[in-house]
Amino acid sequence: MRDTAVGSALSNWLEHGIVDMKFGVCYYPEHWPQTRWPQDARMMRELGLEIVRIAEFAWAKLEPTPGQYDWSWLDEAIGVLAAAGLEIILGTPTVTPPAWLTRAYPEILRVDANGRARDHGTRRHTCPNSPTYRQFSRQIVRAIGERYGSDPRISGWQIDNEFGGGGTARCYCENCAAAFRDWLQARYGTLAALNDAWGTIFWSQTYTDWAQIRPPSDHIDKKNPSHVLDYYRFASDSFVSYQQEQVDILRELAHGRFITTNFMGLYRDLDQFDMAETLDFATWDNYPTGNPERWRPLLYPPGADAKTNNPLYAYDVGDPMVTGLAHALTRGLKNAPFWIMEQQCGHINWAQFNPGIRPGTPRLWTWHAIAEGADTIVYFRWRATLFAQEQYHSGLLRHDATPDVGYHDHLTFQADRDLLDDLARQPITAPVGILFDFADLWALQLQPHRQDFGYLRLLYVYYTTLQRLGIPVNLVPKTADFTPYPLLIAPTTHLADAQLASKLNDYTQNGGTLLLGVRSGFKTTSNLVTDEPLPGALRKLVGATVTSWQALPPDVGWELETAVPHLHGPAGYWLETLNAQTASVLATYKPGGAAALTEHKVGNGRVLYLGFYPTNEQARALLLHLAGQLGLNWLPDLPEGLVAAQRGPYTILLNFTEQPISYPLNGQAVLVNSRDVAVIRR
């Protein structure tokens, strides 16, 4: 049973596995004189690049007046780049509608939760539900698709650019209000069902006409969490359907060329699994010195150092754990190899600090991405811009067109091409899945109960613990096939229904080990508290009930009594007492003796429920206990800043610190220099 499932999961990798490793760069021919293009193209090839991504912001130049297209410059650019031997990825430019469009139809503008519309002068200022914007988007995509869809020089398409970027996933305009009502009608059918699902009897919110329902804007003080959660789902679905219109057109016109878009790592406002479903593969934009600055506060325990980098890491590398989690999520979107569509290759311009990047660091980032399952790396960008919003952002070339650090670093890959090609063909087979669900994340974001309870923060405890043990892990959605994973961790499956319970039941019946964490099954999918004993829909599976739950103040913890090796108290932060019915008890709280960890045999597998929010040490003890029972392999504890990834027969060690590290692997000491990589074949 499991073998077939592993087979089907692997086929994603094998299908893609025929490709060699490829490198490319984002290029904006419209930013440079045409006379410069041939030299740029030649230099790209000399550097060893095969791919160039163009045109994703070029709407105004492609359609200077309504319905009048100017293809001449793009024809010429494609000609020059292709003649030099580069494959072309064409972007659809819908992220940047021209001024004539915005001015003629101000109703296309995105409206924020305060009711303020964005204006022309940047990007992403549009509403995905505006029928006008959709119509113009379809027109430009069709026009480009008709022009270049069968052009052999185009190898694939990027739709739009970073959907939701800059906090634009949710719009509160009248078009959205109307579309939201349609979405709700389709979901609930009747107003009575909607009123029930949202509990609108509370505070006389009851709706007696669909027209009374509006988006949960900031004009509402304390919002109803069921209303907001549905709005988040609706907003995400809006981009899914907006994107789908472009996919449909390109599927018709692009003759089987690939279609993708560029995601943003741990970006939380759109359901990336839903977005990825229609795409051929996933890509993300990796800015290691910028993104972790945003994400660390969501991942590390609240405290002074969450905002700045770990001092053990070199100052210009970012946070490899955080970057690694984003790689794992993107890989998990399709359980397949992915691309880095924009790889930082020098300093950036948009973070709090924007350190200069030393030689060796861009190379380390590229190796990290490959080690985690990327098979194509596209650098951002070819040459630093002289004008507009990103003047302080670097490229492979400096402003004056001389090579910058990323350029020199990339040259080092020329010697490694055979190894890279072999690596790109290797699958990543993760024995552990972590369940990741955007609706769970949103529900807990809306009602964390204790301010610092974060869905990602809890997930990160498990992720980092597995990373330190060198155990590969995938992030998997509730819709995935779980059977390839001997161990499935659900840090908190907050929203649950009978369907999920039965799917998890099948998984465990067939031999899977499921580890459920706190706050699981607390709510229904419409974000109401379950009226069953906790964990609600998952209760039978767990074989135990949650008899009390509490968010403990800092520094309060309960001691534990358990036979699980190295698992010690205090247990704190968030704590649930359990009462085992058909499950056995693996740990109890002292004093009192209530169960803290239970294990329930289900068919050939089992379900564990961990009743407290674990520290890293507690997670380590429990995971090692399970890994031992399941026969999973792990590595000797990796020191902080040394990352190990497994791809096919290769172990890739990456050192993100300033010091060389000697690490014992397969009975020998492997020396990994500072900001360097060692690739070992088993």
Least spacing, CB of residue 314 vs ligand GAL, in Å = 20
Nearest to 127 by CA among 270, 273, 280, 235: 235
* Helix axes 616-630 and 455-468, enclosed angle (nearest 10): 60
Confirm or reject binding of residue 287 to ligand GAL (CB under 6 A).
yes
Residue 514's binding partner among Zn ion, ligand GAL, none (Cβ under 5 to 8 angstroms by kind) is none
Q: Which stretch binds Zn ion (CB under 5 A): 175-183, 319-327, 422-430, 660-668?
A: 175-183
Restricting to residues 18-47, which ones interact with ligand GAL according to CB under 6 A? none
Restricting to residues 335-354, which ones interact with ligand GAL according to CB under 6 A? 342, 348, 350
Give the CA angle between residues 80, 85, 89 to the nearest 5°: 75
Single residue of 41, 95, 127, 369 touching Zn ion by CB under 5 A:
127
Beta carbons within 10 angstroms of residue 451's beta carbon: 8
Q: Which stretch binds ligand GAL (CB under 6 A): 161-169, 500-508, 543-551, 601-609?
A: 161-169
State how far the Cα of 54 lies from the Cα of 486, in Å rounded to an integer.
42
Confirm or reject binding of residue 162 to ligand GAL (CB under 6 A).
yes
Single residue of 55, 176, 357, 546 touching Zn ion by CB under 5 A:
176
Single residue of 171, 487, 515, 623 touching Zn ion by CB under 5 A:
171
Least spacing, CB of residue 380 vs ligand GAL, in Å = 6
Confirm or reject binding of residue 161 to ligand GAL (CB under 6 A).
yes
Q: What would the two tokens of residue 622 be? A: 């429990």
Choose between 390 and 416: whose C-beta lies nearer to ligand GAL: 390
Tell me the one-letter amino acid at 214.
R
Query: Which one from 63, 162, 293, 576 is the annotated catalytic residue?
Result: 162
The DSSP symbol for 122 reads S
Least spacing, CB of residue 146 vs ligand GAL, in Å = 26
Least spacing, CB of residue 349 vs ligand GAL, in Å = 7
**CB-CB contact of 292 with 325 (8 Å):** no
Residue 127's binding partner among Zn ion, ligand GAL, none (Cβ under 5 to 8 angstroms by kind) is Zn ion
532: annotated active-site residue? no
Least spacing, CB of residue 207 vs Zn ion, in Å = 20
The DSSP symbol for 181 reads H
Tell me the one-letter amino acid at 222.
K
Residue 618's binding partner among Zn ion, ligand GAL, none (Cβ under 5 to 8 angstroms by kind) is none
Dihedrals phi, psi of 643, to nearest 5 degrees: -110, 140
Q: Going residue by residue from 366 to 405, which x/- string records binding to ligand GAL, judged by CB under 6 A?
A: --------------x---------x--x------------
Choose between 163 and 663: whose C-beta lies nearer to ligand GAL: 163
Choose between 127 and 329: whose C-beta lies nearer to Zn ion: 127
Q: What would the two tokens of residue 533 be? A: 């004993």
**H helices within 451-497, ranges in order?**
455-468
Confirm or reject binding of residue 271 to ligand GAL (CB under 6 A).
no
**CB-CB contact of 293 with 654 (8 Å):** no
Residue 301's binding partner among ligand GAL, Zn ion, none (Cβ under 5 to 8 angstroms by kind) is none
Residue 348's binding partner among ligand GAL, Zn ion, none (Cβ under 5 to 8 angstroms by kind) is ligand GAL
State how far the Cα of 499 lies from the Cα of 296, in Å rounded to an integer.
34
162: annotated active-site residue? yes
State how far the Cα of 14 lies from the Cα of 50, in Å rounded to an integer.
22
Nearest to 366 by CA among 343, 338, 346: 343
Give the 3-state secondary structure of residue 99.
helix
Query: Which one from 293, 342, 372, 599 is the annotated catalytic residue?
Result: 342
Give the 3-state secondary structure of residue 490.
strand
State how far the Cα of 236 lies from the Cα of 128, in Å rounded to an integer.
10
Choose between 276 and 541: whose C-beta lies nearer to ligand GAL: 276
Residue 173's binding partner among Zn ion, ligand GAL, none (Cβ under 5 to 8 angstroms by kind) is Zn ion
Confirm or reject binding of residue 58 to ligand GAL (CB under 6 A).
no
Beta carbons within 10 angstroms of residue 150's beta carbon: 12
Q: Which residue has the tokens 């060692």?
A: 678
Confirm or reject binding of residue 179 to Zn ion (CB under 5 A).
no
Beta carbons within 10 angstroms of residue 636's beta carbon: 12
Least spacing, CB of residue 653 vs ligand GAL, in Å = 28
Nearest to 397 by CA among 377, 382, 413: 382
Nearest to 174 by CA among 100, 106, 221, 242: 106
Gyration radius of the chain over CA positions: 26
Which positions touch ligand GAL (CB under 6 A)? 161-162, 165, 285, 287, 342, 348, 350, 380, 390, 393
Give the residue numbers annotated as catalytic, written as ranges: 162, 342
Which positions touch Zn ion (CB under 5 A)? 127, 129, 171, 173, 175-176
